[in-house]
Structure 1
């Protein structure tokens, strides 16, 4: 019966194979099995090809990976060590590395904490953890479309590969490269070598790379002395260094360290009793030094590296002009003397422009805005430095008499802070007591453009207007620029360019930059610099800047703006120039804030310390005037009279002079002789180009400003020589500048 069934069924099978559509390839059970077998073979072949490709990629990567010793030396980013003027390293920027610790030197609790929380199966996988990958894949599927990142897949080896060779971008291509490199690292190095590299290179926040740097940063001691509680805190930082930093969020760090301890118990590294005995809350953190005021200086100086050296990644040593003792004194003076609720700034320059101290605010941690180099504020009467220098250059002398009286210029009527007018006084007194009306009259006479030109010469780069009120400091300036201008006066009229970097080398001492010597440019004649120094010294000795006295010669100027919004004092002594500014960031009025009070006091408190070891230097205020200012009459243009009353030219030759008219007898001045001119003011101005020659070359003008004294004529000895013309005096109205 079995045969019959078989024989009878055979034709059916045959016929069905022909026409029923249930044979191979028809999609029936046997066809499905065939396709599954084919897919399996293709998948196996592709997997084999993939394994070969991965093996080749891993082999190539392993060959390119540097040796263990080379990886120990390579930093994870550029480091910059900043040196003070005495060579002391006062700031390290970029990655911060402690001492390299071998695995034998690293406490076992630190090793166990890191392995437990970051990669529990570290000792058993080949660099990539299939269990972790599966967990990450499930997470990715469950949270598809939510934008959340894949979590929990990276092993310690993968993190090491990412830290050394790759970026932190979340892309599939980067993840694939990370896996290849991880397998290569496991192929090339032992587990202990990988763990040692990881512990010394992983980032723990606060700029610290490696457990030793982290331990010193947070606990103040080497990682070799690390306790279980400290290890739990440090191991918890790797997941999110900024979020779990004990200095940023103590509660978050404490909670994370508890998770680490629980994980260590679960992994079997410690007992529950040991975990209970650990007290992360009792961990003593290192005293937080904070960002001191020297960061104002480095924030200003270090960006200049881009212009001084070529871009690079190697470690740098930057040598600066900062004097740490002066910086401490400057910080103390600003913090002690600046009124409550007010900001202060200070810049101190040596005679060549080297920045010895810079304070940009009362607290860098609270506000890193550098008011010494970035803020633009009105200088008030400190601007009169340029007004009086322009006046001296135009021919005024420090003892010239001027009148303090009401004045109106183009509808503007300045007032003195005293509310009174003192009448006649010397230029020196007017400057010492910062008389506004005198400054306004000087600016109007010499020309406001002349004042602006003087400020530009002395390094003021901010916009300057030429409105009459500009003489009282209505233009906004920077503290560092004003300080440099006063430093140029201290340097006897030679320009000063502030600088902070003297030398840059690589970590191994290779010189990349050396500041060249700079002689500076002459901005004004030395007699102008001597004259303004005389005025500045008087302002401190007897005028508005008396609070800036320090027991040795000081020259300086106060500045106070309307409604006491800004207070300034700028001055110099013993080759050191310092500018101090105080005011509110919102430019609101501050009651009692005047340049001669808090700013001058801060200047004095700082300078007493800053110049203590410098020799006392008297100021050179001896004014050696040019010829055209030496005498009150115009004989100085032609040389000194001889003993017999005659005059000589520049070569000592006698000059024949006509007899003076006898005005008492009604004589009229004769016309100029054919062989020489009449020595009067008109002729002098014509010869020196101050006025065009008269068409007919006739006699003196109707109202000559001044007639030369003419002594009795001497016998003629030679034809009239070409007379020496005096230097041209600057135009009083500022034209031509």
Structure 2
């Protein structure tokens, strides 16, 4: 018979059960603890990973407080007017207050309507962008953005445009920090100044000019709405290729503005009905001004400050520099026109030189290739055109404006130079050619094959006022004014004779114009020099006559007597070139540039003072501080409002004495005779004090003229880029001097007729022009172009003395001596004072 369980047995069972329950609880507690620890560890790992991947190397948003966007370098001319800009990114920086409220509303409607409510991140929009990204993985399609304006600022300015979820997270973190650092207006200002909007325009002000050729405050509502669609992708809404798509998106922005209460229904209806009104892509308005000049300025700035931001804060293409130059628009236009006319005159009748360039055209899309070529013309009524196809006896043409025209067979009959046949048959589709309007159609024009350069300088300051380095810089970028090394021919002679004047000769020194040979050693043998045109020597004559008539034999004889080491030393210190002491260099055999030669003549005109020529007056950073030249000082009281009525202030002189002042004046005085009765006599009817010298080198391959007045000195050469004969009739006096004359007629028209002022110590003496002997009892006849008696400039104690009676008859003159009453005879010093000289 079973017995009932005892109380002790029940207790044991309960204890066992409790122990089991406790053990299970402890197990579960341990598991939960481990799970919690694991989750905590995973959280730490996740946070560390988030920090490592997203936060660790985030840039500091504090840099945005002092952020300066890349800005173009702006170049201004001598009158302060803008003439050019250098930029990789076209941008005009504005403050928030300068942006029209309507424009701000348009961008908010298009990009971030809740901008003023969120703290940098629009979480619903961000979540939608992430979901869209995940759904498109592997599809090759790009997910929608979903970024706020603040996130776009973070992307554009701090972290870049990488396409990944990580970048989105970094954007969000930075956007939150930016909102803590900057105000909403500051964020919008950064955004509107920085955003890329196509056509190389960055920021809305630059885009306003790129798409509508207007300032921002001149845009209407429809145009503002178009700008607001561009951040989504400027190429997607190109007004030419995707016009309908652009119209749809613009009207969508207008609809969003209406929905948000930014505009009224009437404003919406008016804007919605407007066409896009976008102008064709075009070169900025100042880009074609002073092409060769501003390119030389760019080279100098690049050498000083570098090209991009990595080269320093003052880089040419991003530093926002303000550059004041000596560029004179009026003189540049005159020099450019004169040189071009001269080149066309010389080249006319020699045939067509072929197309400017050939480009490929696909599917009748000729406009873009033409615009991309950057070829344009502004010579008279010539224009650049692209040949788009042939229609019977006419070629079809297209122009940069989008307009079209025709070139009939009869208007393209000039011969093809060097190949035969006529131009009409040689033209091909895709050729870019020069044409001019004629009778409702167009006629072919030939770009000259010959080229050259023209430079104008102000002697008193050494500032280059104009520079034309070829026919057109958009056709020929090579700047012949500073880069073409050419033989200057006889234009070197005034510098050679300056060395002679520095070493004992006078303008009246007698030099034999006769055979001159030198032995050059066993290898080179005997070298005999000759005059231009192989003309025979004319016997003994004065130095003045030798320069006026450009006699080679007299020049080499004077150089040999002076010593070629001294001659080349003078040439070097005048900045022309560094030559070996060979006699051929005295006749212009050494290479130099027209820019250097014009500067050397400017030194002569400035009584021997000068230095390297300058194109840049000063450079300021974007805040207005002058950063170049380093020792620049403002001209105190030079501005009219600051003038105190005392003697007129003068700018700081930056020139040094390169050549003896009296030597320089003597040479200028002699070369005035070149204009009055020498090889540059074509300039005499300008009827003003003017000096100069022509040049024609062997071949001739180049012809020159350099000279001018106390106000401006100019110079030019003409020659083929690959030197070849210009023809036996080509001379400096017949080709180069007339080009300078065309320039001078207008350039000097409103200027006073100032004489060249003699330095202290110069003695003006009446001499016989043929013999160089002193003359008494008669006066120079200023109305006679070839007077027998002239005023000549001498250094102290170097003037010729009265000859004794037994030395021979008195010198003959071409004008009869006229005795003046002794009591009233004017003194030489009185005459000089009236002429502006110093006795």
Q: TM-score range by the shorter chain?
A: 0.5 to 0.7
**What does residue range 32-71 of structure 1 map to in structure 2 within 5 Å?**
46-47=45-46, 64=62
Return closer, same or farther for 1:175/1:294 CA change in 2, 3 Å cut-off. Answer: farther
Partner of 1:426: 542
Counterpart selection for 1:106 from 100, 103, 106:
103
Cα offset, 1:280, TM superposition: 4.9
Contact kept, 8 Å, 1:378 with 1:475, in 2: the verdict is yes
- Distance (whole Å) between structure 2 residues aligned to residue 171 and residue 380 of structure 1: 67
Cα offset, 1:470, TM superposition: 1.6
Partner of 1:535: 670
Query: Which digits, 9 at most, give the CA deviation of each residue in 1:651-681, with x for residues without a partner?
Result: xxxxxxxxxxxxxxxxxxxxxxxxxxxxxxx
Counterpart selection for 1:441 from 557, 562, 568:
557
**What does residue range 7-22 of structure 1 map to in structure 2 within 5 Å?**
none
Cα offset, 1:486, TM superposition: 0.6
Partner of 1:623: 793
Counterpart selection for 2:614 from 499, 504, 507:
499
- Distance (whole Å) between structure 1 residues aligned to residue 588 and residue 178 of structure 2: 67
- Distance (whole Å) between structure 2 residues aligned to residue 356 and residue 630 of structure 1: 41
Return closer, same or farther for 1:573/1:61 CA change in 2, 3 Å cut-off. Answer: closer
Q: SS at the partner of 2:324?
A: strand
Counterpart selection for 1:481 from 578, 582, 596:
596
Partner of 2:777: none
Return closer, same or farther for 1:533/1:48 CA change in 2, 3 Å cut-off. Answer: closer
RMSD of aligned Cα (Å): 5.0
Q: SS at the partner of 2:723?
A: coil
Scaled by the length of structure 1, what TM-score is found? 0.65
Counterpart selection for 2:481 from 372, 394, 416:
372
2:736 aligned with 1:599 = yes
Query: Which digits, 9 at most, give the CA deviation of each residue in 1:146-182, with x for residues without a partner?
Result: xx99997977544422433456789999887555323
2:215 aligned with 1:222 = yes
**What does residue range 124-163 of structure 1 map to in structure 2 within 5 Å?**
125-126=122-123, 129=126, 132=129, 157-163=150-156
Partner of 1:289: 285
**What does residue range 182-581 of structure 1 map to in structure 2 within 5 Å?**
182-185=175-178, 197-204=190-197, 208-224=201-217, 226=219, 234=227, 254-261=240-247, 279-280=275-276, 283=279, 289=285, 291-301=287-297, 303-304=300-301, 312=313, 315-339=320-344, 340-341=448-449, 342-409=451-518, 410=520, 411-424=526-539, 425-460=541-576, 462-506=577-621, 509-512=624-627, 513-514=632-633, 517-518=652-653, 520-549=655-684, 550-581=686-717
Contact kept, 8 Å, 2:72 with 2:85, in 1: the verdict is yes
Scaled by the length of structure 2, what TM-score is found? 0.58
Please identify, of 569-578 and 180-189, the stretch whose mean Cα deviation from structure 2 is larger: 180-189
Query: Which digits, 9 at most, give the CA deviation of each residue in 1:215-254, with x for residues without a partner?
Result: 124422234554687568756765887x89xxxxxx9651
Cα offset, 1:133, TM superposition: 5.6
Contact kept, 8 Å, 1:127 with 1:179, in 2: the verdict is no
Please identify, of 533-542 and 433-442, the stretch whose mean Cα deviation from structure 2 is larger: 433-442
Cα offset, 1:607, TM superposition: 3.2
Contact kept, 8 Å, 2:251 with 2:272, in 1: the verdict is no
- Distance (whole Å) between structure 2 residues aligned to residue 578 and residue 211 of structure 1: 43
Contact kept, 8 Å, 2:513 with 2:553, in 1: the verdict is yes
Contact kept, 8 Å, 1:555 with 1:571, in 2: the verdict is yes
Counterpart selection for 1:584 from 703, 715, 720:
720
- Distance (whole Å) between structure 2 residues aligned to residue 184 and residue 316 of structure 1: 32
Please identify, of 543-552 and 308-317, the stretch whose mean Cα deviation from structure 2 is larger: 308-317
Contact kept, 8 Å, 1:99 with 1:212, in 2: the verdict is no
- Distance (whole Å) between structure 2 residues aligned to residue 126 and residue 359 of structure 1: 60
Contact kept, 8 Å, 1:574 with 1:611, in 2: the verdict is no
Q: SS at the partner of 1:332?
A: helix
Cα offset, 1:275, TM superposition: 12
Partner of 1:674: none
Query: Which digits, 9 at most, give the CA deviation of each residue in 1:247-294, with x for residues without a partner?
Result: xxxx965125544445567898699x9999775587466785352343
Q: SS at the partner of 2:69?
A: coil
Partner of 1:656: none
Query: Which digits, 9 at most, give the CA deviation of each residue in 1:672-721, with x for residues without a partner?
Result: xxxxxxxxxxxxxxxxxxxxxxxxxxxxxxxxxxxxxxxxxxxxxxxxxx
Return closer, same or farther for 1:110/1:230 CA change in 2, 3 Å cut-off. Answer: farther
Return closer, same or farther for 1:126/1:527 CA change in 2, 3 Å cut-off. Answer: same
Return closer, same or farther for 1:389/1:220 CA change in 2, 3 Å cut-off. Answer: same
Runs of at least 5 residues in structure 1 that lack an aligned partner in the other structure: 1-34, 245-250, 635-737
Contact kept, 8 Å, 2:453 with 2:716, in 1: the verdict is yes
Query: Which digits, 9 at most, give the CA deviation of each residue in 1:329-366, with x for residues without a partner?
Result: 33333333333232433232331212222333332333
Contact kept, 8 Å, 1:372 with 1:479, in 2: the verdict is yes
Q: SS at the partner of 1:90?
A: strand
